[in-house]
Amino acid sequence: MSEPMRLGDLLAGYADPGALADLRVHGLSLDSRTIKAGDLHVALRGGREHGIAHAASALEHGAVAVIAEAGPELARLDASFANRVIAVDDLRAKLGGIAARFHGDASRRLRVSGVTGTNGKTSTVQLLGQALDRLGRRAATIGTLGAGFAGSLYVGERTTPDVISVQRLLARFLAEGATDIAMEVSSHALDQGRVDGVQFRLAVFTNLTRDHLDYHGSMEAYGAAKQRLFEWPGLAAAVINVDDAFGRRLAASLPATVARLGFAIDQVEADVRATGIEAHAHGLRFDLHTPWGEARIESPLLGRFNVSNLLAVAASLGALGHEFAEIRSVLGALEPVSGRMSRLGGEAGRPLVVVDYAHTPDALEQALASVRAHCAGVLVCVFGCGGERDAGKRPQMAAIAERLADRV
């Protein structure tokens, strides 16, 4: 738990708290319903209302003060609590820095790797976390499956938590002995500033295919959101899938200060690549080629796209400074990620059931094509595309299922 901080010190360089400067802040909160005594409540302007509408409730429940995004809404505050509200220009853009300061800038004492892309984020993050643990590091992961150390993930509501929660988690993991963080960084998180204040050592790009157009509006805007991670201040290295057309453009746009490693299956000029890929009933075999050495890899993972995920892990380990002998020893030992090409049955003539999160047209196509390579019988596909987000992908996914499966 972070130590209480003087409000004037917390906001130095961001805003002047005036007479409130000597108040002690014990925590930060975006939600007035979860305020604890001593918290500083943060009121941002949302899509439907300004968070200042809940300031009175936050103060009644023990908040010491409120910092609020400056705007006309603050001119109508009730006189009974107006003197406990501090207006901050462009607060959303500053909040990551404020939260990082309160939590001791934990990311600067950790090796933080951020993984972005439409598909493969979860698998890559979890596999990288596994690899680092096997190499004697202590890695925590943050993403769709939750946040925490191997075997003890705390389930969250979002791929990337809110900006305050991210900083709180980093500080918690550091206190619990973490040396490394592998985290999924969604396009929403980048666009909404949820990872502001995080010092990323490494950025990883998996791919860019159709998703979230209900939010971003176009593939161009979607790609631009992903690209922000590779323009991050202080970023040391980038690992990029150059089989992906957007990935190739991204790699070419990197500043000279960022070390670049491209990985690929089909692009022979990639720094880290795979050849001789074989799918069999119990996993994969392939030849790994890197700037540091070559090896034949045997993996229990299913699917050609998991070769790509393993290449991302190999390149990431190299970018983080690990020796090739370590990379070679750990890559084939990595275990399947829960809900990502997870296997059930398949022994002694029993049907093989594969469960995968595939939720985009590209992911479903890759999953079915990958399972076909391991399938000796009839391929049955059961899939859904619920919710009211990006309904335009539904007919595409149905067409893919009809084309690649024997039964749907």
> pLDDT tens-digit profile of 239-275?
999 999 999 999 999 999 999 999 999 888 999 999 9
Q: Is pLDDT at 213 greater than 70 in this prediction?
A: no
Residue 407 burial by Cβ neighbours in a 10 Å radius (0-12, 13-18, 19+): exposed
pLDDT at 15 over 80: yes
- Mark which of 331, 360, 392 sits at the end of a domain: 331
DSSP annotation of 230 reads: G
Q: Is the pLDDT of residue 342 over 80?
A: no
Token representation of residue 330: 């750990």
Both tokens of 301, joined, read 């993972």
End-to-end CA distance of the chain: 50
Among 101, 136, 168, the domain-final residue is 101
- 280-289 long-range CB contacts below 8 Å, 24 or more apart? 280/374, 281/346, 281/374, 281/376, 288/314, 288/328, 288/331
Same domain, 136 and 281: yes
> Domain check: are 167 and 224 in the same one?
yes
Question: Do 121 and 96 have their domain in common?
Answer: no
Burial class (CB in 10 A: 0-12, 13-18, 19+), 316: buried
Distance between CA atoms of residues 138 and 130, nearest Å:
9
Read off the pLDDT of residues 278-330 as tens digits, 9 standing for 90 and up.
Answer: 988 778 999 999 999 999 999 999 888 899 999 999 999 999 999 999 999 99
**234 and 375 share a domain?**
no
170-198, pLDDT tens digit by residue?
999 999 999 999 999 988 888 888 999 99
Can you say whether the dihedral through the CA atoms of 155, 158, 159, 163 is positive or negative?
A: negative
Tokens coding 274: 């795979």
Q: What is the CATH number of the domain that holds 252?
A: 3.40.1190.10
- Domain boundary (58, 85, 101) is at 101
Query: Does 356 share its domain with 323?
Result: no
Domain at 364, CATH number? 3.90.190.20
Half-sphere exposure of 97 (CA within 13 A, CB side): 12
Let me know if residue 204 belongs to a domain: yes
- Check whether residue 58 and residue 179 sit in a common domain: no
Q: Which residues contact 330 (CB under 8 A, 6 or more apart)?
A: 131, 134, 135, 317
Instruction: Tell me the C-alpha to C-alpha distance, in Å, between residue 136 and each of 149, 171, 322.
Output: 14, 21, 11
* Domain membership flag for residue 300: yes
Alpha-helical (H) ranges within 203-344 are 213-216, 219-227, 245-253, 304-319, 324-331
- Domain span including residue 186: 105-331
Q: Edge-to-edge, what's the strand order for the sheet holding 39-43?
A: 27-29, 39-43, 65-69, 85-88
